[in-house]
Amino acid sequence: MNLILLGPPGAGKGTQASRLMKERGLVQLSTGDMLRAAVAAGTPVGLQAKAVMESGGLVSDEIVNGILSERLDQDDARAGFILDGYPRTDVQAHALDAMLAAKGLTLDHVVELVVDEDALVERITGRFTCGACGEGYHDRFKQPRVADVCDACGASNFKRRADDNEATVRQRMAEYRAKTAPIIPHYDGRGIVARVDGMADMDAVASAIDGVLGG
Ligand code: AMP
C-alpha cells in the first residue's frame, strides 16, 4: 500500500506515519527528514536547502523531486510507503505521477489531516524530541516523566527543530495554504482522497486513518 499524508506542519503527519510504519511495515518517506539529514551532513543539497528551511519557505521542486526519486528506488520502498511532506506543490504532484509510472508503482490513498491553524502554532512551538531515540515530547502536552530524562531510552539529550518557532511556523502554514492545499483536487478525481479530523486526539486520528486504509 502506498499513500500520501497531507496536512500543514504540526498536523500529526509524522506521528501517524511512524505509527503506520510500526504497525503495517510501511516505510515513512519524509522529505523534511531527508533534507535535515543533508543539512546536518553538509552535502551540496543541504547547503542549498538550509537557509530556505530556516525561513519556512519551500526548497526547490528540482531538489526535492531528485531526493524523493532516489529514495523510492531503495528496496524497502517496494513494501509500501507513506509520503510525509511530499508532494507540496503542483509541480511535485505531477513529478510524482511521472516517477511512480516510470517505476511501476501506484498510489492507493491520499489522507488529508484537517486542522485549526492557531491551535497548531501552540502544538508545534512546544514540541521537542529525544536526540538519542527520537521519542516526541511537548512543553504542555507531554513532558518526560522525569525532568530531562527520556521516558523511552533514558538519554538526557533533547532537541528542538530550528524551524519550530512561531514566525517560521506561520510562514510554513502560509506555504501550505498557498501551494500544497491546492494540489488536493489533483487527486480528488481519482477517488482516493480522504479527509480526517486532525484535531481529535491521537488515538481517534489513528482509528479514523485505519478506517480509511482498511485491513
Ligand atoms: P517538514 O519536516 O515536512 O515540516 O519540512 C521541513 C522543511 O523542509 C519545510 O519547511 C521546507 O523548507 C522543506 N521541505 C520538506 N519537504 C519539502 C517539499 N516536498 N518541498 C519543498 N520543501 C520541502
CB of 172 closer than 6 A to ligand 1?
A: yes
Model confidence at 98, in pLDDT bands (50, 70, 90)?
very high
CB–CB of 35/45 below 8 Å?
Answer: yes
What's the chain's Rg over C-alpha atoms? Answer: 17
How far out from the chain centre does Cα 167 lie? 19
* Average of per-residue pLDDT across 69-73: 95
CB of 109 closer than 6 A to ligand 1?
A: no
Average pLDDT value for the chain? 94
CB of 9 closer than 6 A to ligand 1?
A: yes
Position 120 pLDDT exceeds 90? no
Task: Give residue for cell 506543490.
Answer: 89
- Range in 67-81, 114-128, 141-155, 180-194 the model is least confident about: 114-128
- In this structure, the strands spanning 127-130 and 136-138 are antiparallel
Please give the number of the atom of ligand 1 that sits closest to the Cα of 175: 10
Read off the pTM.
0.87
Q: Ligand 1: distance of its center to the CA of 32 in Å?
A: 5
Q: Which of 160, 161, 170, 195 is catalytic?
A: 160
Give per-residue pLDDT as tens, 29-47. 999 999 999 999 999 999 9
C-alpha to C-alpha distances, 186 to 4, 189, 202, nearest whole angstrom: 13, 7, 28
Bridge partner residues of 78 (DSSP): none
CB of 88 closer than 6 A to ligand 1?
A: yes
What pLDDT is stored for residue 212 in this prediction?
Answer: 95
Give per-residue pLDDT as tens, 8-23. 988 989 889 989 999 9
C-alpha to C-alpha distances, 65 to 29, 68, 148, 156, nearest whole angstrom: 12, 5, 38, 36
Cβ neighbours, 10 Å, residue 179: 16
Q: Which residues of 16-27 are buried (b: 16+ CB within 10 A; e: fewer)?
A: bbbbbbeeeebb
Residue 165 burial (CB < 10 Å; 0-12/13-18/19+)? middle
How far out from the chain centre does Cα 17 lie? 8
What pLDDT is stored for residue 9 in this prediction?
Answer: 86
Residue 167 burial (CB < 10 Å; 0-12/13-18/19+)? exposed
